[in-house]
A and B are shown apart, each in its own frame.
Chain A
């Protein structure tokens, strides 16, 4: 079953900047209010033109609503995620965490087969608000890739 409101986040390691730098997503969200959004692929058009930039530019709005951190997740390696974040000036606003082997995506049952265009199983586009490790709101794009309910402005209006 895809992740939904009321679920506890799985205890999965993601990677930040390099394969040596592990971040456990359950530990990151303990005791905090965290936004997590997932994308099918770093550097892909929809993710790059709209989804990530929206969260970067709405950072202050999220902060004013008590959000402690914003995290972006994708099934890419940490070097690619870091480069993508740098291109979008995400530093200090959105943490770019690599779901290198898709373990987090799988644990949330949000896999999407994008082998044709992107060469591997990727993550459906989603956004969620997590409080102390528990999902409060989850918005998963109906087709997995569209740019509707998971966008920044939509999640902001739910806070």
Chain B
């Protein structure tokens, strides 16, 4: 099986539909609060959304807010949780979630050192604009059941908002 929404130039990412989510820890609110993503997803229907950066215009204006406002629609399709990840520290992610009123709708999980992003094969170099010693995450959205990826949409250029937007993922469920 191939990931959906991947690219025109024939390049495939390392992570394909049918793969199990990697066994990686993310952090929620503080560096002490670990969340294992494969444990979170076990036995559940989960949406995971990845973005290049907290507080960046594109991610903040429409992208994540759409998943927040579509929370009710996802729930009616049986989704148990919606998670947003980014290569930012947990304090930044928590502040961003508060700014977007994500509480109770989308869990903001920090991929602080990019381990989850790397395990998914979705790293992108945004060093010029966003810095950090590790690469950031390409914009993507996925649907997983019991820890297995069923739908995966990765933006071809890594940052635009096309195939990975909430409206598109919802229509696929």
Q: Does A133 contact B (CB under 8 A)?
A: no
Contact A80 B88 (CB under 8 A): yes
Contact A80 B54 (CB under 8 A): yes
Q: Does A5 contact B (CB under 8 A)?
A: no
Q: Does A41 contact B (CB under 8 A)?
A: yes
Most chain A C-beta atoms within 10 Å of own C-beta, residue among B91, B128, B129, B134: B91
Q: Does A116 contact B (CB under 8 A)?
A: yes
Q: Please give the number of chain B residues whose Cβ is less than 8 angstroms from any Cβ of chain A in the complex.
A: 27
Q: Does A42 contact B (CB under 8 A)?
A: yes
Please provide the chain B residues from 46 to 60 with a CB less than 8 Å away from any CB of chain A in the complex.
53-57
- Which residues in B have their C-beta under 8 angstroms from that of A44? 89, 91
What DSSP secondary structure best describes chain B's contact surface?
loop
What DSSP secondary structure best describes chain A's contact surface?
mixed
A82 closest partner in B (C-beta): B55
The segment from B92-100, B138-146, B161-169 that touches chain A is: B92-100
C-alpha gap A87/B55 in the complex (Å): 12
Identify 17 residue pairs between A and B in the complex whose beta-carbon atoms are under 8 Å apart, listed by A's number: A19-B129, A41-B92, A43-B89, A44-B91, A45-B91, A79-B54, A80-B55, A80-B88, A83-B99, A101-B127, A101-B132, A102-B131, A118-B89, A118-B112, A119-B132, A119-B134, A120-B113
A45 closest partner in B (C-beta): B91
Q: Out of B55, B89, B95, B96, which one reaches A119, CB within 8 Å?
A: B89
List residues of B whose CB falls within 8 A of some A CB: 31, 53-57, 87-89, 91-92, 94-96, 99, 110, 112-114, 127-134
C-alpha gap A87/B95 in the complex (Å): 9
- Which residues in B have their C-beta under 8 angstroms from that of A76? 92, 131
